[in-house]
C-alpha cells in the first residue's frame, strides 16, 4: 500500500438512537441519529445534536427524521443524507487536496434481511465509501467488550440498543444462535410516556420521557443506590392546565416490567437453542450486557436472579459496538465474519 495517506478508515456504529464514528482509535463523532430536513427544498438543515434540539419543536416548514427504526434503515433518503453529512463533518477536520478513499466498516443488526443489508451498504457507498464492510452488531459488541470471539468457546452477548435488543451466542468467530427483538430503548421511552398519561394524566414528549429514563430508569424496585425522584411539568390531558408530578424509580421499574420480561424471554429462547458445550461455557463466563439499555439500574441483578447465570455490564456499554467495529476495521483481512 503505497498511497496509504489517501485511504481513510472509518468505523461506523449506525445506531437507531446514536451514530458513533471512530477513526485511528479515536471517537471523531458521537451524535444522535437525527436529520432536520427543509420541506420545501428537501435539503438537510441540521444533523445530530443540532437536529435533536429541533425534534418535537419544529414548525410546518421543517421535519426532523430518525432515518433508522428498529435498527434498520426506514428512510433511505434521510439515512444517506445523514451518513454523508457525518462523514463530511469528520473530513472537514483534515485538510487534503485529494478526496480520500474511504474504507468503512458498519455495524448492522443480526436479524437484518438482504434488503436491509443492501440499504446500509448502498447508503454508505453513496455517501462516499469505496470499500464497505459490514459486521453484525452482536459480533462487534463482543469484540468491543474485549471477548476472544475466535476462540472455541461460547460467549453470550446481549446488546440493548435504541431500536433492537441483539442476543447472540458466539464461538469460533461466528454467531451460533441469535435473536433480534424489537424491544429496546425506544420501547422503554414509549412505556414511560404511556405510564405518565395513564397514571398521572400528563402528556410528555419523547425527549422528556428519555430524560426521565436516563435520570431514574430502573428495572427493580429495591436498589442499593437510589436515584433522587424526578420532577416533571406537563399539560393535564383533560384540562391542558400545567401539572407537576414527582416520579420515583420504583414507578419506572413498574412501568418497564413487561418490556424487560420480553427481553428475558428472548434470552431464555436463545439459551434453549444453545448447544450444551457452549451452554456450559456461558454458565462459567457469564453473559455480557452492552448497549445503552444496559445502563438501566438493577438490570444485571434482575437478569441474574431470573436466569441463574451471572450477568456483567460492559464498561462504557454505549460504545461497545463502535469500539468493536473499530477493532474489526484494523483486521479486515483476517476476520472471516466481515461481509463485503
Give just the sign of the alpha carbon dihedral 45, 48, 50, 55: positive
Q: How high is the pLDDT of residue 112? A: 81
| pTM of the complete model beyond 0.75 | yes
Pair (174, 116) in one structural domain: no
Residue 3 has pLDDT above 60, yes or no: no
Residue, of 171 and 109, whose pLDDT is higher = 171
Q: How confident is the model at residue 242 (pLDDT cuts 50, 70, 90)?
A: very high
Pair (166, 268) in one structural domain: yes
Asked whether 166 and 292 are in contact (CB, 8 A), the reply is no
Percent of the chain with pLDDT over 90: 66
Does the residue 339 lie in any domain? Answer: no
Of 317, 329, 339, 340, which Cα lies nearest the Cα of 15?
317
Does the residue 338 lie in any domain? Answer: no
Q: Can you say how many angstroms the Cα of residue 293 is from the centroid of all Cα atoms in its chain?
A: 8
Does the residue 337 lie in any domain? Answer: no
| Tens of pLDDT, residues 37-70 | 999 999 999 999 999 999 888 888 999 999 988 8
Q: How high is the pLDDT of residue 2? A: 42
Q: How high is the pLDDT of residue 336? A: 74
Domain that holds residue 307: 147-183+258-318
Pair (14, 130) in one structural domain: yes
Q: How confident is the model at residue 99 (pLDDT cuts 50, 70, 90)?
A: low
Pair (23, 121) in one structural domain: yes
Asked whether 14 and 322 are in contact (CB, 8 A), the reply is no
Does the residue 336 lie in any domain? Answer: no
Pair (311, 170) in one structural domain: yes
DSSP string, 1-41: ---GGGEEEEEEEE-SSEEEEEETTEEEEEEES-EEEETTT
Domain boundary among 236, 255, 274: 255
Pair (200, 314) in one structural domain: no
Percent of the chain with pLDDT over 70: 96
Give just the sign of the alpha carbon dihedral 108, 50, 186, 25: positive
Q: How confident is the model at residue 8 (pLDDT cuts 50, 70, 90)?
A: confident
Q: Which residues pair with 168 in a beta bridge?
A: 157, 178
Pair (76, 192) in one structural domain: no
Of 77, 63, 66, which Cα lies nearest the Cα of 34?
66
The stretches of the chain forming alpha helices (DSSP H) are: 48-54, 76-91, 114-126, 137-145, 185-200, 206-216, 249-273, 276-285, 299-307, 320-330
Phi, psi of 262 (to 5 degrees): -70, -35
Of 224, 225, 218, 221, which Cα lies nearest the Cα of 256?
218
Q: How high is the pLDDT of residue 93? A: 66
Q: How high is the pLDDT of residue 73? A: 85
Q: How high is the pLDDT of residue 49? A: 93
**Mean of pLDDT over the chain:** 90
Q: How confident is the model at residue 1 (pLDDT cuts 50, 70, 90)?
A: very low
Rg (Cα) of the chain, in Å, rounded? 21
Number of structural domains found in the chain: 3
Identify the CATH number of the domain in which residue 229 sits.
3.90.640.10
Poorest-pLDDT segment among 15-19, 56-60, 174-178: 56-60
| Tens of pLDDT, residues 128-158 | 888 899 999 999 999 999 999 999 999 999 9
- State the virtual CA torsion across 58, 59, 62, 67 in degrees, nearest 10: 40
**Cell numbers standing for residue 125:** 457507498
Q: How high is the pLDDT of residue 88? A: 86
Identify the CATH number of the domain in which residue 62 sits.
3.30.420.40
Does the residue 335 lie in any domain? Answer: no
Does the residue 31 lie in any domain? Answer: yes
**Between 299-307 and 249-273, two packed helices, what is the crossing angle to 10 degrees?**
40
Does the residue 106 lie in any domain? Answer: yes
Amino acid at each position: 500500500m503505497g498511497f496509504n495517506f489517501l485511504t481513510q478508515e472509518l468505523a461506523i456504529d449506525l445506531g437507531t438512537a446514536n451514530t458513533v464514528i471512530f477513526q485511528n482509535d479515536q471517537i471523531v463523532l458521537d451524535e444522535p441519529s437525527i436529520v432536520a430536513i427543509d420541506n420545501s427544498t428537501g435539503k438537510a438543515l441540521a444533523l445530530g445534536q443540532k437536529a435533536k434540539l429541533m425534534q418535537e419543536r419544529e414548525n410546518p416548514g421543517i421535519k426532523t427524521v430518525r432515518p433508522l427504526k428498529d435498527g434498520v434503515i426506514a428512510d433511505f433518503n434521510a439515512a444517506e443524507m445523514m451518513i454523508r453529512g457525518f462523514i463530511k463533518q469528520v473530513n472537514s477536520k483534515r485538510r487534503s487536496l485529494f478526496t480520500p478513499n474511504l474504507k468503512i466498516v458498519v455495524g448492522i443488526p443480526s436479524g437484518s434481511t438482504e434488503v436491509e443489508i443492501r440499504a446500509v451498504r448502498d447508503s454508505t457507498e453513496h455517501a462516499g465509501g469505496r470499500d464497505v464492510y459490514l459486521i453484525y452488531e452482536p459480533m462487534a459488541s463482543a469484540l468491543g467488550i474485549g471477548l476472544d470471539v475466535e476462540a472455541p468457546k461460547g460467549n453470550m452477548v446481549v446488546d440493548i440498543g435504541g431500536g433492537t435488543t441483539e442476543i447472540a451466542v458466539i464461538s469460533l468467530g461466528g454467531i451460533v444462535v441469535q435473536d433480534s427483538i424489537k424491544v429496546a430503548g425506544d420501547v422503554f421511552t414509549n412505556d414511560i410516556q404511556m405510564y405518565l398519561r395513564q397514571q398521572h394524566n400528563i402528556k410528555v414528549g419523547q425527549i422528556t420521557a428519555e430524560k426521565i429514563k436516563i435520570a431514574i430508569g430502573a428495572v427493580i424496585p429495591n436498589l442499593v443506590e437510589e436515584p433522587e425522584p424526578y420532577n416533571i411539568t406537563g399539560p393535564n390531558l383533560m384540562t391542558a392546565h400545567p401539572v407537576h408530578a414527582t416520579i420515583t424509580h420504583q414507578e419506572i421499574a413498574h412501568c418497564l416490567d413487561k418490556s424487560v420480561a420480553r427481553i428475558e424471554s428472548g434470552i431464555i429462547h436463545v439459551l434453549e437453542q444453545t448447544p450444551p458445550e457452549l451452554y456450559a461455557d456461558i454458565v462459567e463466563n457469564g453473559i455480557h450486557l452492552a448497549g445503552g439499555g444496559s445502563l438501566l439500574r438493577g438490570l444485571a441483578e434482575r437478569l441474574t436472579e431470573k436466569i441463574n447465570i451471572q450477568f456483567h455490564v460492559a464498561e462504557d456499554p454505549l460504545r461497545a459496538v463502535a469500539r468493536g467495529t473499530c477493532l474489526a476495521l484494523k483486521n479486515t483481512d483476517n476476520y472471516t465474519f466481515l461481509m463485503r
